[in-house]
């Protein structure tokens, strides 16, 4: 992003400010919002590269704040290993020149996530199914991450379906997002995308992301989270539809 126009820098900073704000409000959504907004003005591989440092720092923060890291890792390591393998295996997709396909995939992923978030249905994973289902969900999440730069499908609905306590769920999401970020960074670096100027720009993007996160945490105490969550998913649905249709036209 050498010699980047000031207007584009402003858009990138605003995208990360808003993405951090959403994460501060509801505990997730930074990569989803950032990829969705940046996908409007940047190639998906560039957008995913900018996401690496802000996503890693905020998710390690979320992971470290939880109460039972060791127990969660012991339970979820098959899923985490599969996320890493799936992301690494598919990372070349974002790094190729087929940006139109990547934008379509991103738009569809955002729409699916929004529909799941707006749905009143709540699923539960039986205890006996977790041992074989976790690796499958991990691989699927890794492949979706590699194709879109978004970490949430199907990892978030699956972790929510495990019946974890609130704090354990937040920490489990932080663990999943951290593994996804590290694997995506490794894959993009392997393909020569996440390096040099983009790596430096990703570090700079941390400031607006953290600022937005602090603002979101402050406002969370003053706004009903349910209302904000519904508006978030509706906005995500519109954004995802726009990205998918734009890349097809």
- 135: in domain: yes
3-state secondary structure of 22: helix
| Distance (Å) of CA 107 to CA 8, 35, 111, 138, 139 | 21, 10, 6, 21, 20
With respect to residue 80, please indicate whether it lies within any of the assigned structural domains. Answer: yes
The per-residue pLDDT for 15 is 93
**Residue 1 included in any domain:** no
Q: How far apart are CA 221 and CA 55, in angstroms?
A: 23
What digits encode the pLDDT tens for the residues 141-166? Answer: 999 888 888 888 899 889 989 988 87
The predicted pLDDT at position 51 comes to: 92
Alpha-helical (H) ranges within 29-129 are 30-38, 44-64, 69-90, 92-95, 99-118
- The tokens for 224 are 């009903």
Burial class (CB in 10 A: 0-12, 13-18, 19+), 125: middle
pLDDT given at position 207: 95
In whole angstroms, give the CA distance from residue 141 to residue 159: 12
Which residues constitute the domain of residue 26? 6-248
pLDDT interval class at 74 (50, 70, 90): very high
Please give the average per-residue pLDDT across 25-36, as a whole number. 82
Instruction: Please indicate, yes or no, if residue 15 is contained in any of the structural domains.
Output: yes
The proportion of the chain whose per-residue pLDDT surpasses 90, expressed as a percent, equals 29
Angle at which helix 206-220 crosses helix 30-38, to 10 degrees, equals 130
Residue 139 confidence (pLDDT)? 95
- Asked whether residue 148 is domain-assigned, the answer is yes
> What is the tally of structural domains in the chain?
1
Structure tokens at 18: 């808003």
Contacts with 73 (C-beta within 8 Å, 6 or more apart), sequence order? 80, 175
Q: How far is CA 36 from the centre of its chain?
A: 10
Cα(72)–Cα(66) distance, rounded to whole angstroms? 10
- Between 90 and 205, the more confident residue is 205
| Domain-located, residue 202 | yes
pTM of the model: 0.84
10 Å CB burial of residue 26 (0-12, 13-18, 19+) is middle
What pLDDT does residue 98 have? 54
């Amino acid at each position: 992003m050498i010699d980047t126009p000031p207007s584009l820098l402003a858009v990138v900073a605003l995208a990360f400010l808003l993405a951090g704000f959403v994460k501060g409000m509801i505990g997730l959504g930074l990569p989803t919002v950032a990829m969705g907004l940046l996908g409007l003005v940047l190639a998906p591989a560039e957008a995913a590269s900018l996401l690496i440092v802000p996503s890693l720092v905020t998710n390690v923060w979320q992971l470290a704040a939880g109460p039972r890291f060791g127990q969660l890792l012991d339970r979820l390591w098959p899923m985490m290993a599969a996320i890493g393998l799936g992301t690494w295996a598919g990372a070349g997709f974002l790094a190729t020149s087929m940006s139109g396909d990547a934008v379509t995939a991103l738009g569809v992923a955002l729409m699916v996530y929004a529909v799941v978030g707006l749905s009143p249905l709540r699923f539960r994973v039986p205890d006996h199914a977790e041992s074989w289902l976790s690796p499958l969900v991990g691989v699927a999440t890794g492949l979706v991450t590699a194709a879109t730069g978004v970490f949430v499908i199907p990892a978030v609905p699956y972790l929510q379906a495990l019946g974890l306590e609130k704090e354990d769920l937040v920490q489990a999401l932080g663990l999943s997002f951290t593994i996804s970020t590290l694997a995506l960074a490794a894959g993009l670096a392997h393909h020569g995308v996440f390096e040099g100027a983009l790596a430096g720009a990703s570090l700079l993007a941390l400031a607006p992301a953290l600022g937005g996160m602090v603002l979101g945490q402050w406002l969370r105490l003053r706004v009903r989270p349910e209302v904000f969550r519904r508006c978030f998913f509706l906005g995500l649905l519109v954004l995802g539809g726009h990205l998918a249709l734009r890349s097809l036209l």
